[in-house]
Amino acid sequence: MSSVVDTIKEQIDNNEILLYMKGTPRFPQCGFSSRAVQALMNCGERFAFVNILENQDIRAELPKYANWPTFPQLWIKGELVGGCDIICELAETGELEQMVKAAAPQDADDA
């Protein structure tokens, strides 16, 4: 039986761009998640998400694993970027788009 931490590690390892959030990108369940999703969507790349409201175990364990107490949490290439304020600051400076584009899986045509 795999632990919740194993599940979290697997999610982070298997998704180049991953947002742990309350709700879904179409229906965010809090203002912070909504702002984070909007900033990510403006980068124009696909990203994975985990709705922590549907998984209480991940909601409980991820803050300990990440050493980050709040949601949303953005992970890019296995590294915690941060929460809503950091995501929005990076979006304002253009850094978020650079990070997301660099992490996004490239199409075979681009290779």
5 burial via Cβ count (<10 Å: 0-12, 13-18, 19+): middle
77 labeled binding residue: no
Q: Could you tell me the two tokens for 42?
A: 């403006």
109 labeled binding residue: no
DSSP structure class, residue 24 = -
CA 1, CA 76: separation in Å to the nearest integer? 27
101 labeled binding residue: no
Cα angle 33, 47, 29; round to 5: 20
CA 33, CA 53: separation in Å to the nearest integer? 12
30 labeled binding residue: yes
The annotated binding site is made up of 22, 30, 59, 71, 84-85
* Binding region for glutathione: 22, 59, 71, 84-85
Binding-site residue ranges for [2Fe-2S] cluster:
30
